[in-house]
Structure 1
Amino acid sequence: MAYKQPVSVLVVIHTPDLQVLLLERNDFAEAWQSVTGSREGEEALCDTARREVLEETGITANPAVLRDWQTSNQYEIFEVWRHRYAPGVTMNTEHVFSLQLPEAVLPQLAPREHRRFRWVPWQQAAELVFSPSNAEAIRQLPERLGH
């Protein structure tokens, strides 16, 4: 089994009026989140972000509107998921991106990863996500977008 890299992306997908796309995990009921995923091989982080958006939502992320926030977070990997990483790995570095779409779209969910989706105002999205770093990124959307 190939281990996951402890380097990941978080991609907050939103509309111009700050509706945020949230996905509910299959393996963690009521755990809402933005698109996330680990880097594969030596791919550039923007390529990881584009790949994960496509895999998890079916949305093709135009590089012109995918924004790299040049921000990263370190967090402890939940114990339930540590078996996916090499022995002894307990911390992950997450790189934050956002993707603005012209309007809310119907995503094509990856059935092995997510069971439901919802578009909600950014304030509600920040309250619904289970990850503190995801919540903080969503709270930063208005400022980052000049709203």
Structure 2
Amino acid sequence: TGATFHLHRDDLLVLQDVPERARLWLDSEVDPIDEPDAYLEHGQIIQVGKQELEVRHTPGHAPGHVIFIYHAGAMVFGGDTLFQNSIGRYDLPGADGPTLLKSIREQLFTLPDDYVVYPGHGGATTIGDEKETNPFVGRHAVGIE
């Protein structure tokens, strides 16, 4: 496509497994994926057009999971970390529930309450709403099993 490819170092092993997984799951062959053009680092600022996004490492759903924060617009592109009244899956290979909760508390819940989270699935929410109502990590959380 000509687009640059970025990846967190902790997900490099997942990348290397893509051809084998495609063969097993899709009964199809795919070419090996090239090495990333750049590795994403926690705290890094990346340019998207004229805008700046902060990268935060949020392991738990996947070892190298990251979120992108657009501070100028009070927005978080949260991937599969935090959802409206839910959290990302932690039953996948390399995933870990307690690590996911720690990532949410330390990397998302430290943001201002009015920041809007756009998750990888479902509707948008705010940091403040999730602090208050999220059943896994909110104020009245029952936790995870």
TM over 0.5: same fold? no
TM-score by length of 1: 0.27
Higher relative contact order (CA 8 A, sep 6+): 1
- Structure with higher Rg: it is 2
TM-score by length of 2: 0.28
